[in-house]
Amino acid sequence: MSKRKKLRSDIAWSDASKIVVRGHNLVELIGTTSLGDFAFLELTNRLPTPEESTVFDAIVVVLVEHGLTPSAIASRMTYLGSPEALQAAVAAGLLGIGDRFGGPSEEVAKMLQNAMTGGGEDINAMAADIVAGKRNAGRPVPGLGHPIHRPTDPRTKRLFEVAADNGFSGRYVSLMNAVSEEASRAFGRALPVNATGAIGAIASELGFEWRVCRGLAVIARSIGLVAHILEEDREPLAPEIWSRVDEEATEHMRSETTDERD
């Protein structure tokens, strides 16, 4: 028989009279702890300071709602087919929060954290290394520029203000700004920090491992997707999108067939 490794989790336990989450009696948290603070506790194993609480809520709030995204459309389409399972419609939407939409803030945080653990002291030198590395690999620098929000992303300034007001504008924020300056110079066009870049930098200031960033996007988006599904339940878009897409995309095959019949 195989040697067994003891199973062990340190998150929560309960018995007949007690529920303990991250070392806290759940009952004592009810009514005193906000949803954001509870999320911070779950992710870090301790409750946040008031400053951490404000900054954490700020970055997660930005990720909740981005309008009729591919993810929201996928949720609405799924709800049309499986009205019995709202959880499936939310899950379908979350499945699109990957490399393209949930990944970038993760990528920013990883880029900044790797640079920082590289042990250098000079922020500008790190920024130059980062930009050169991406440029040589023919890849864009994550966290810069935006297809719609031009010339600057209105969220960035506010996120950096909130971080600074609460003591979280340190080396990661400096490095992100230095990367923006360096990239603008290297690529010869304005590449300001976007919301994703700000979130990746601020999450790093809060001490979150880069991997957490995709998780924050997933948590936040689950809220937005529930809102979209509830709206879909009252005023459906999915049937109309379905019929328009199907009609237009298959039109050429119908007419070819008609021609053949002539």
Q: Taking CB under 8 A as the criterion, which residues in 136-155 touch a second copy?
A: 148-150, 154-155
Distance of closest approach, residue 231 Cβ to a second copy, in angstroms:
6
Output the smallest distance, CB 183 to a second copy, in A: 21
Q: Which two tokens stand for residue 12?
A: 């929560």
Is the Cβ–Cβ distance between 221 and 96 less than 8 Å? no
Nearer to a second copy among residue 145 and residue 182 (C-beta): 145
* H or E segment to which residue 20 belongs: strand 19-21
Min dist. Cβ of residue 121 to a second copy (A): 29
Q: Smaller CB distance to a second copy: residue 3 or 138?
A: 3
Cα separations (Å) of 126 from 28, 112, 115?
A: 45, 9, 6
Give the residue, chosen from 126, 144, 162, 173, that forms a contact with a second copy under the rule CB under 8 A. 162
How far is it, in rounded angstroms, from Cα 51 to Cα 165?
Answer: 9
| DSSP-derived secondary structure letter, 258 | H
Q: How far is the C-alpha of 75 from the C-alpha of 249, rounded, in Å?
A: 21
Extract the tokens encoding 43. Answer: 């992710």
Map the footprint of a second copy across residues 11-50, applying CB under 8 A.
11-22, 26-27, 29-31, 33-36, 38-39, 42-43
Residues 47-66 that bind a second copy (CB under 8 A): 53-54, 56-58, 60-62, 64-66
Which of these ranges, 122-130, 133-141, 181-189, 220-228, lies near a second copy under the rule CB under 8 A?
Answer: 220-228
H or E element at residue 130: helix 123-136
Residues 168-207 that bind a second copy (CB under 8 A): none
